[in-house]
Structure 1
Amino acid sequence: MPTLHWIGKEKVINHHLEVPYKILEHQYSFNSATDNEPKETTGLLKAGSSGAIIHGDNLEALKALLPEYEGRIKCIYIDPPYNTGNEGWVYNDNVNDPKIRKWLGDVVGKENDDLTRHDKWLCMMYPRLKLLHKLLADDGAIFISIDEFEHDYLHLITDEIFGRNNRIQTFIWKKTYGGGAKSKHAVNLHEYVLFYAKDISKIETLELPPDDSILKYYKFKDEKFEERGPYRLQPLATNSMDERPNLRYPIIYNGEEIWPDKQWQWSKDRAYKSLENNELSIEKNEKSGKWTINYKQYLKNEEGEARGRKIYSIIEDYYTQHGTNELTSIFGEKTFNFPKPTNLIRTFIELATTQDSIILDSFAGSGTTAHAVLNLNKQDGGNRQFILVEMEDYAESITAERVRRVMKGYGEGKKATEGTGGRFDYYTLGQPLFLEPEVLNEAVPLEKIREYVWYSETRMSYEPQPAKSEENEHFLGLHNETAYYFYYFKDRLTTLDDRFLRTLRTNAGQYIIYADNCLLDKKLMQKHQIVFKKIPRDITQF
């Protein structure tokens, strides 16, 4: 498969492994019903929460999400900087942003001076896409908005990271319905949205719920209406020229044999069964004497699920102007340039999620993704949750404030929009876990260190153990017949010895025990399948 090379690639291709792991610090909870919530500290997405907003660099924030959410995100939507060089945007759409320039200088070094704008953009995007790939569920999907400036480059690096065979579609989004008077050569009316699966073999048929363009055809009712809804009539005969002798047979009705001009769409058994179940409509033209057979296509299948509709590769009817007007109606003034329309992102979420999915947007901007999730949940009664990450200072004043207003409702009089309800939690990036490669930061809460160690060993989410006792105080958990212990105190050294072994009550095939020192005999350790790991030297930095 062709790959893309650029200045600095060798420095960033594995940079996601070097990003410092920082804890997420809970700042506050917002509940649309009460305004104030007691501060909670366990788990990013609280029970009953609609989502979370993280203020901080998205590269570090994505790394911080790994222990709890690797492989759990069902849908990712991102709208990264397009790298147009347009310095007028609120979200600086040029990777010469001071924060990005500092990161490029630290990571790429002197080569940073020689980087073109495209090289800088690719250096910024690549490690972020690597972490997003890790967070995505095996049956998950990612949507990435982009325009023509970086479209070709983005396709090549997403092919490399997600796999060319996992590319589902490149949508063409018609973003505006007019304009272009100042265009010199051609009027640009579209952008792109790249659509990839984590593993396309695990993606089932993708369909959207039926809308008015489909529902208008389902206008007939019969005795199955309560279970299967209305139906439309579709021809049972087909004009196909395929040689299918098994599809040519008579249907007996009122003592007459009805033959197709060419052949039927269905097998004989299926057609006869449908006739018995009153699922065929048969009429005779009195003038020509010719019979017509239609089958009843019900809106719902036998399980009561509504017939879906396919999404087209060209997306219309959702325009940038809609996104701007929507945001202006929320804030009462223009606060953000070119926000995506909520219905565009809602369409992607509706296509790729179930009602209890987690949706991530690591370039959150004005918070449109959260707005889309909340609207969709209100529409279909779902419990989807969002995670937003925004690095800019407006994370609180625009991103979080928009979510607050959407939950509580906004506008006045005839323009008032009812709130969706809900609650979210707001976080910032806190202390790094390691001050130096082998120096633990003792300012980090012990439970966060335990969570990190468990994840580094198992790649599983950490669930705190029950109330601690002498027997389980240092027990992390059991995974694949291996018991994990983290024997650690911040104010004194720990030693793995016979006395500590006598406190173990877990039956396991192997024991991995972290401590500061070990005095156990090697033969004893081999006999009982004990692996000693020294703190902090042997704590894996992922």
Structure 2
Amino acid sequence: MAVPQTGNYEQRRPPVFFCPLLSLGAFTCIIPTLIMPTLTWIGKDKVVNHHHDVPFRVLDQQYTYGQADSRATDRPNRIIHGDNLEALKALLPYYEGRIKCIYIDPPYNTGNENWVYNDNVSDPKLKRWLGKVVGKESEDLSRHDKWLCMMYPRLQLLHRLLADDGAIFVSIDDNEQASLKLMMDEIWGDRNFITTIIWHKMDSPKNTAIHFSEDHDYIAVYAKDSTIWRPKKLPRTDAMNARYKNPDNDPRGPWLLSDLAARNFYSLGQYPITTKIGRIIQGPPAGSYWRISREKFDQLDKDNRIYWGKNGDNRPGVKRFLTEVQDGVVPQTLWHWKDVGSTRNSKQELSKVMSATSNEDLFITPKPSLLIERILQIATGPNDIILDSFAGSGTTAHAVLNLNKQDAGNRQFILVEMEDYAETITAERVRRVIDGYGDKEGTGGSFTYYELGPALFTDDGQLNEALPPDRIREYIWYSETRTPFSECPFIVTESPHFLGKLYETAYYFYFEPDDLTTLDYDFLSTIQTVAEQYVIYADNCLVGREWLQQRHIIFKKIPRDISRF
């Protein structure tokens, strides 16, 4: 069972410090440390590092749909069909540390839903995966153990993909909210927990509920690094601005009255005030203080920033002008369905996009695009990359395209969906949003659709020679440089084996699918690039190690020395 534990106190001793005051040295001060709760469950030890063992598969491009923006030719929107664990691994060479915002809506694990790794012990996909990864212990797993086993390696890879100044938003409900929090604290670090958003999702109560109508879901928010990530402010609404009036026709425009009194102690905030018609107000209301000093009050009054009421006899307040209000609103943690949509709205929206007559025929639990737009407004700029690895009906892509159209942005979306409806619902919805549906004008844009292709390495550890050479070259370059191959700053065509040059190191991958390759003097004579160091892959080497070292050449044997990640 998944249970929170505080650890063994005997095994985690507090530090011991010598107390100077106890000069005889007969005593020591024992200062207990704060022990953070951890989460453990059956099978955890098998999945903590499982993301390292996930096979690296190539992305097999199927087609491209729509007209790509000229600014996005080197960074296409992507929809990937396949297991999201393997898909996340396949994205590393292109996107590690580059995703600005991740939104996922994983299964809530209610016990009633039909997800691949569900609580149906007879599900063949579940038995195969858990049996292979967890082993015989998988026979004793509860549905909560299975959910945690499924989520942990995926969250590990998502963490690697997220940019240092990025954030992840995870939808969840009460079934796994507590477990998710502890698991995220472990992977992301509890210091990087930002907040839990409450989405008021029901626009009417569920009167058939046995106990309570569950009207909300959670969205857990974590930053890769909370010291540098900051949410963007939300745009002000017309309703907010409508609160500002101008009853005294102030030439500076509409204003909102701010109370002069507050409960916070302020030593200079106890003075009497005389109104415009001579009435003396002895001081602030009982238990409160004027927010400003007498000197500051007189300055504001002289500048006509104090309002005394229509007859000049009210308790004064400070005028806050609309023109001086900050541009934007700090996001709050309670999101009402009237602002970001409800579950009913999301089903109606999907039905309208897909021209369906029955919500049940499409998707059980879509999210409204307004909800995801709110997340994108907070967490992204116009040129950022957004990832959703539990894509479902494609709401995240819908929201990205909508927002790009609103602000002429160039945000890129990456969707991963493992179920068979990836083409018939996920991709189809995106096509219709791009082209327009019903009376809704199309957003424009494009995407490229992929299937997960073969693994880069065979079961016996050899390179899969049937793969396109470019896919292998991309992997080798990334394994050496941890940068996308497409961004290599120095690529020439001196030979088909030259990968590129980065930081004065030139990389060569001397590989022929049908022949053994040998690093020898003949091959070295073909090198034209001048660099301080050379890394050369080949099947064999006939040049002495000392000779290579003197010339700063590193030989790496194929496939033995190819890094796995």
Asked if Structure 1 and Structure 2 have the same fold, meaning a TM-score greater than 0.5 normalized by the shorter chain, the answer is yes
1:287-346, Cα deviation, whole Å (9 max, x unpaired): 549976535342676xxxx32342234544321111111111122232111211111111
Decide whether the 8 Å contact of 1:231 with 1:299 is kept in 2.
Answer: no
User: In 2 relative to 1, CA 287–200 (structure 1 residues): closer, same or farther, beyond 3 Å?
Assistant: closer
Report the equivalent of 2:480. 457
Counterpart Cα distance in 1 of 2:430 and 2:197: 27
Greater displacement, 232-241 / 524-533:
232-241
User: In 2 relative to 1, CA 298–343 (structure 1 residues): closer, same or farther, beyond 3 Å?
Assistant: same
Decide whether the 8 Å contact of 1:74 with 1:139 is kept in 2.
Answer: yes
Report the equivalent of 1:429. 452
Q: 1:29 aligns with which of 64, 70, 73?
A: 64
Q: What aligned pairs does 1:193-342 form with structure 2 within 5 A after superposition? A: 193-218=219-244, 232-233=255-256, 235=258, 237=260, 239=262, 242-243=265-266, 281=305, 287-288=312-313, 294-298=319-323, 306-313=327-334, 315-317=336-338, 318-331=341-354, 332-333=356-357, 334=359, 335-342=362-369
Paired letter, 1:194: A
Decide whether the 8 Å contact of 2:473 with 2:499 is kept in 1.
Answer: yes
Decide whether the 8 Å contact of 2:117 with 2:125 is kept in 1.
Answer: no
Offset at residue 348 of structure 1 (A): 1.1
Report the equivalent of 2:423. 396
* TM norm structure 1: 0.84
Q: Percent identity?
A: 51
Counterpart Cα distance in 1 of 2:499 and 2:479: 12
1:184-229, Cα deviation, whole Å (9 max, x unpaired): 22222222111111111111254211123322235669999xxxxx
Offset at residue 12 of structure 1 (A): 1.0
Q: 1:86 aligns with which of 100, 112, 128?
A: 112
Local SS of the residue matching 2:547 = helix
Counterpart Cα distance in 2 of 1:265 and 1:449: 68
Counterpart Cα distance in 2 of 1:501 and 1:237: 80
User: In 2 relative to 1, CA 538–437 (structure 1 residues): closer, same or farther, beyond 3 Å?
Assistant: farther
Offset at residue 169 of structure 1 (A): 0.9
Local SS of the residue matching 1:407 = helix
1:450-499, Cα deviation, whole Å (9 max, x unpaired): 111111122111127677544x5323233343322212222322222233
Counterpart Cα distance in 2 of 1:330 and 1:442: 43
Report the equivalent of 1:348. 375
Report the equivalent of 1:508. 531
Q: What aligned pairs does 1:361-510 form with structure 2 within 5 A after superposition? A: 361-411=388-438, 416-463=439-486, 469-470=493-494, 472-510=495-533
Offset at residue 387 of structure 1 (A): 0.6
Counterpart Cα distance in 2 of 1:459 and 1:68: 9
Counterpart Cα distance in 1 of 2:553 and 2:466: 30
Offset at residue 270 of structure 1 (A): 13
Report the equivalent of 1:536. 559
Local SS of the residue matching 2:347 = helix
Decide whether the 8 Å contact of 1:82 with 1:93 is kept in 2.
Answer: no
Offset at residue 92 of structure 1 (A): 5.7
Decide whether the 8 Å contact of 1:84 with 1:93 is kept in 2.
Answer: no
Note if 1:60 corresponds to 2:83: no
Counterpart Cα distance in 2 of 1:392 and 1:459: 30
Q: Which runs of 5+ in 2 are unaligned?
A: 1-35, 274-282
Aligned length: 506
Greater displacement, 108-117 / 391-400:
108-117
Note if 1:11 corresponds to 2:46: yes
Decide whether the 8 Å contact of 2:255 with 2:319 is kept in 1.
Answer: no
What do you get for the CA RMSD once the two structures are aligned? 3.4
Give the number of the structure with larger relative contact order, counting CA–CA contacts within 8 Å between residues 6 or more apart. Answer: 1
Q: What aligned pairs does 1:157-168 form with structure 2 within 5 A after superposition? A: 157-168=183-194
* TM norm structure 2: 0.81
Local SS of the residue matching 2:38 = coil
Counterpart Cα distance in 1 of 2:144 and 2:477: 39
1:153-210, Cα deviation, whole Å (9 max, x unpaired): 1111111111111111112222213343332222222221111111111112542111
Decide whether the 8 Å contact of 2:199 with 2:216 is kept in 1.
Answer: yes
Paired letter, 2:457: F
Q: Which has the larger radius of gyration?
A: 2
